[in-house]
Structure 1
Amino acid sequence: MFKKGKVSVIVPIYKVEKYIYRCLESIISQSYKDIEIILVDDGSPDNCGKIADHYQEIDQRIKVIHKENGGLSDARNFGMKEVTGEFTMFVDSDDWLEKDAIKVMINKIVKYKADVVQSAFYYAYEEQLLFDQRYYKQDNPPDIINNQLLMKELVINEKVKNFAWGKLYRSEIISGISFKKGVLFEDVFWAHQVMHRVEKFVLVNQPLYYYYQRDDSIVANYTPKNLDIIKGLIERHKFIERYYQNLAELSHKNILKMCLIHYNLLILNRKKDKSGIHRRNVQSYIRDNYTSFKKAISNDKELKGQLFLFSIHPFLLLLFLAVRKGLRRIKFLEKNEGLKRVEV
């Protein structure tokens, strides 16, 4: 039985000794006090386990679980088993919260009798914060979203994000839905199953979550394992076709966009795909689904052009994207504006 009004905060911990203090201090300092903090030490080889134990000693709301390393999904699944609160929140251990984050989200989920509340967030860098003003308007009231619109927004992944973090869930909504183990981008495999159960979703335009951006370059650190995101989108697409047929073309469009992005990343990381098997797999998938993709992007001039170039030869698309990037760099073409710098 979940305790009414209580919020369970799950924090998976692995090799984040540099960031963990900031994260935990932001949680224990929340203005909303009826919380339990479940720290899952996922076999971290640094001092994270000891740091977690120290916080458990000084704050009785904290419970620490030590386990063998199993990845982020496994750590979250362990944490979910310990939840006793009416509501659940996930916080990644290198991120942090505004002081009133939980209070604001609790007020909204109760006021609107919602199943899930999502807040806007900052992209947090060492020297700056960026706020995406394309999709969130800080002065606007909350958006109240029903299930059909919610699933559409989830597929678009602009206002409603696939991320597990940054949301407050009624614990019963996520009960029994585990994160898929052994994959990257585990949230893509998970979020649609949760949102399928949601009748009312509230989007708070006020940024309450700090999403930390490490200096790691996606190009420099790219591996074929990143292709898990395409697997997740394909798995979700089958779900969409079954329950939300009207969104199937939109889903296909996003899969195509992701395939093209990752094909180019594989080209830029040819040493990590020496045999070319991953590039061939992506190319084959696009070819096998070409008719469906073409139909799905019939109203998207830019994506139609990219698919056309790719179908002639993938390197034509790569050349086009490189030239466009160069033109934007010299300001011949306009850049896509939207991320507003916020003074720290």
Structure 2
Amino acid sequence: MLPKVSVIVPIYNVEKYLRRCLDSIVNQTYSNLEIILVNDGSPDNCGMIIDIYEKTDDRIKALHKVNGGLSDARNYGMQHVTGEYTIFVDSDDWLHIDMIQKLVTNSIATKADVVQSAFYYAYEDHLLFDNRYHSKGDQPTVLKNKALMRELVVNERVKNFAWGKLYRTNLINDIPFKKGVLFEDVFWAHKVMHRVKTFVMLHQPLFYYYQRSDSIVGNYTIKSLDILSGMKERHGFIEKHYSVLKNESYRMILKTSIIHYNLMLLNRKVDQGGHYKREIQSYIKKNYPELKKAVRKHPPLARQLNLFCIHPYLNFIYQGMLKIFRGIKVIPGPVKLERLNA
């Protein structure tokens, strides 16, 4: 008999998108599913919708709880898992009809602990596919632990996202998501991947990662800095268990720190007293020798570090000029992702 797959869907204020998500799960070609829908105190009609779905499909468990955030909803869902495998789906995203079938088939064939599919960035009128590293028809890539951890830290081919991956349940059922933070996956993923012996990447996009139109600049809040807290927490783990990846970790912290410093400059109201900007400056100053060593073979990032240390505004202006020059095609811009009509 095929192994049971538990699908956990945390749900909050997504009435507009929920049916699309749920239909993509219940209609999977792989039928041995346990579909755990966690209504996290949603103020709209999501609770009513999942109760209706529960009545029409005996694989569905509709759970209701007071609002506690995404991490709390996922943790609550994990308490009800009975499947050999677990997959997380955010409630505004959706799956290709064959996704779970392909993930399970590859896990069984390779004895993988985790299988990841490629995904589309899904907009209202188009899709984007990251074809910089792999084409859709490429054979699966198999990674062992050390290579996997490098990819996770670099966050290009292996993303920190919890979704889009099939996990053996016994790998993750005692690693809860950290509550009360944004970017909770950054606090979680390295602890899981540390246990993984075999990780498989499928290069066919089978997951649709919905991109809302909200601007990150216009909606930026101090909570967004949680990602830096997660990366610094992970850095301690990397130093302890994978010291060879220390420079990669420092580079990611530096890049993310500069991005968030610039976002706070663009949205001054979120840090009127400058406390959080000073915190970033202090971290970079304190760790400058290690950061300088980490970017030695990465000239663009080394330039940003030097400019930032002279004065953060210098790097901000430099980044703005680069954007202008790329816009008028004086210098080449970043490689664009493959675009498809939705």
Q: What TM-score does the superposition give when structure 2 sets the normalisation length?
A: 0.99
CA contact (8 A) 2:125 2:341 kept: no
Q: How many Å apart are 1:4 and its aligned residue?
A: 6.4
> Which of 218, 241, 244 lines up with 2:242 in the alignment?
244
3-state SS in 2 of match to 1:18: helix
Is 2:49 aligned against 1:51? yes
Q: Deviations over 1:76-116 (max 9, x none)?
A: 00001111000000000000000000000010000000000
Which residue in the other structure is 1:325 paired with?
A: 323
The 1-side partners of 2:210 and 2:109 are apart by 30
Which residue in the other structure is 1:166 paired with?
A: 164
3-state SS in 2 of match to 1:202: strand
The 2-side partners of 1:317 and 1:338 are apart by 24
After superposition, residues 1-344 of structure 1 pair within 5 angstroms as 5-344=3-342
CA contact (8 A) 1:163 1:187 kept: yes
Q: Deviations over 1:294-318 (max 9, x none)?
A: 0011100000100010011000000
The 1-side partners of 2:299 and 2:35 are apart by 48
Letter in 1 for 2:214: D
| Shift >6 Å, 4+ stretches | none
Q: How many Å apart are 1:343 and its aligned residue?
A: 2.7
Q: How many Å apart are 1:342 and its aligned residue?
A: 1.4
The 1-side partners of 2:250 and 2:74 are apart by 29
The 1-side partners of 2:134 and 2:175 are apart by 28
3-state SS in 1 of match to 2:84: strand
CA contact (8 A) 2:114 2:200 kept: yes
3-state SS in 2 of match to 1:179: coil
The 2-side partners of 1:334 and 1:171 are apart by 45
The 2-side partners of 1:219 and 1:183 are apart by 19
Q: Deviations over 1:256-290 (max 9, x none)?
A: 11101100001111111111111111111111111
CA contact (8 A) 1:136 1:159 kept: no
3-state SS in 2 of match to 1:57: helix
The 1-side partners of 2:322 and 2:244 are apart by 33
3-state SS in 2 of match to 1:5: coil
- Percent identity for Structure 1 against Structure 2: 58
3-state SS in 2 of match to 1:144: strand
3-state SS in 1 of match to 2:188: helix
Q: Deviations over 1:175-214 (max 9, x none)?
A: 2000000000000000000000000000000000000000
3-state SS in 1 of match to 2:4: strand
CA gap 1:178/1:4 in 2 versus in 1, 3 angstroms: farther
Cα RMSD, aligned residues only: 0.9
The 1-side partners of 2:81 and 2:221 are apart by 34
CA contact (8 A) 1:4 1:86 kept: no
Unaligned runs of at least 5 residues, structure 2: none
Q: What TM-score does the superposition give when structure 1 sets the normalisation length?
A: 0.98
Q: How many Å apart are 1:136 and its aligned residue?
A: 2.9
The 2-side partners of 1:69 and 1:175 are apart by 22
Q: Deviations over 1:111-157 (max 9, x none)?
A: 00000000000000000000000133211100000000000000000
Unaligned runs of at least 5 residues, structure 1: none
Letter in 2 for 1:277: H
The 2-side partners of 1:93 and 1:136 are apart by 27
CA contact (8 A) 1:146 1:199 kept: yes
CA contact (8 A) 2:2 2:32 kept: no
The 2-side partners of 1:326 and 1:103 are apart by 46
Letter in 1 for 2:99: A
CA contact (8 A) 1:6 1:86 kept: yes
CA gap 1:281/1:319 in 2 versus in 1, 3 angstroms: same
3-state SS in 1 of match to 2:68: coil
Q: Deviations over 1:33-71 (max 9, x none)?
A: 000100000000000000010100111100011000000
Letter in 2 for 1:88: T
Query: 331-340 or 201-210, which moves further after superposition?
Result: 331-340
The 2-side partners of 1:258 and 1:136 are apart by 25
The 1-side partners of 2:169 and 2:260 are apart by 35
